[in-house]
Structure 1
Amino acid sequence: MKSILADIDFSRDSSVVARELIGVTLLIDGVGGRIVETEAYDRLDPASHTFGGMTPRNAAMFGPPAHAYVYRSYGIHWCLNFVCREVEHGAGVLIRAIEPLFGVDAMRARRGVDDERLLCSGPGKVCQALGVTHAHNGLPLDAPPFVLLAREEDVAVLAGPRIGISKAMEVPWRFVEGGSRFLSKPMRAS
């Protein structure tokens, strides 16, 4: 089983990387599961944090690819992104949902819920369940506490409009594993 960045080249467009991450196993300190939902963002995308240029908040997105960008959403939830493209470009992939497979008891304790379907079915839930905080911002994905394991089998990947944003919603850069019951929301027809 290959584990070095799951054989994904993070120097490519975020929409390509977002699709390829579906079915990859993400572990943080041994806790995690299979990625079942992602969204791509790019510096030229008005919905991206990097659209207006580099700020102290989004600086990690302008750093090297295959690093984490962690930010707080609405002042409440941490959200995890994987940086893509070349240095200074400002592109990334939001990890929206995973299927919990490893360290499920730790996830339940962190989230305070028993239903596996609710443990990681949204970007804030993913971070809470996996213990992601701003301390992970800027860390390389090819070193502890991160482990990315390549897909063990082919998965059906569906693409559609992104959710939870107010700009460029129609861009089909939300990717999900077809048939997964662990998505943040069902895929709507595009």
Structure 2
Amino acid sequence: MSSTNRSLPLPPELYKGTALEAAPRLLGQHLVRRTEEGDIVCRIVETESYGGIEDKGSHAYNGRRTARTEVMFSSGGAAYVYLIYGMYHCLNVVTGSVGDPQAVLIRAVEPLTPADAERMVSFRSITVKRPSDLSGGPGKLCRALQVNKSHNGTRLDVSGGPLWIEQGTDPASLDVVQCPRINIPYAEEYAGRPWRFYIRDNPYVSVKDPQAVPLIWL
């Protein structure tokens, strides 16, 4: 599919479920970024689930509600964008119902066409030695797509704005694996939960886990 061929929106039900339900189902879907240079279309290839007030890895753990986390308490389909280390933005997809803070971190994307890749490389202004250098990691993909705090709260379930998600490949047809999330030792007993999902052998995935196991779809 080229960047000029528009696809269909995701089923609304995907955004209404929990982050744990949505995270693997977002794999293979298309993230679209509208820029002045043209649309960039990427395939989502790696996600992490941060679900509910009980998840000690979540910004909204124990119902923590601040100006930063407020969008997590909105209805599913919004973008939650935050800054880490004072320099890297991270893009999340809010899911669930109003008042139930659920979010899926988009960890890696794959440009759909050479033209999409070229735009992303130009925004990164780096020499890409391997695919994961371009958009394999939440900070990298946000730089490659020029996603920042101005996109916080953007509706990803509505096309035509600066950022949205469209239907791509059926995730059930993909070779998906799951493993623990990355860099969250503070999550205590939740740190080891297998809530990171990615497409096995995809070169854009940020980190391959040798202990990852195949996802059993329910």
Question: What TM-score results when the alignment is normalised by the length of structure 2?
Answer: 0.82
Question: Where does structure 2 lack aligned partners over 5 or more consecutive residues?
Answer: 1-5, 213-218
Match of 2:14 among 2, 5, 9: 9
Deviation of 1:149 (Å): 2.4
Match of 1:39 among 43, 48, 65: 48
Deviation of 1:145 (Å): 1.9
Q: 1:158 to 1:7 in 2, by over 3 A?
A: farther
Question: Where does structure 1 lack aligned partners over 5 or more consecutive residues?
Answer: none
Match of 1:128 among 112, 121, 143: 143
Deviation of 1:33 (Å): 1.0
Match of 1:176 among 198, 202, 217: 198
Larger radius of gyration: 2
Q: 1:41·1:47 contact (CA, 8 Å) conserved in 2? A: yes
Matched, 1:107 2:120: yes
Match of 2:168 among 145, 151, 160: 151
Structure (1 or 2) with the greater helix fraction = 2
Provide the aligned C-alpha RMSD in A.
1.7
Residue number in structure 1 paired with 2:181: 162
Aligned length: 190
Deviation of 1:6 (Å): 5.8
Q: 1:8·1:17 contact (CA, 8 Å) conserved in 2? A: no
Runs of 4+ in 1 over 6 A off after TM superposition: none
Question: What TM-score results when the alignment is normalised by the length of structure 1?
Answer: 0.93
Q: How does 1:25-104 map to 2 (within 5 A)?
A: 25-29=30-34, 30-42=39-51, 43-52=53-62, 53-102=64-113, 103-104=116-117
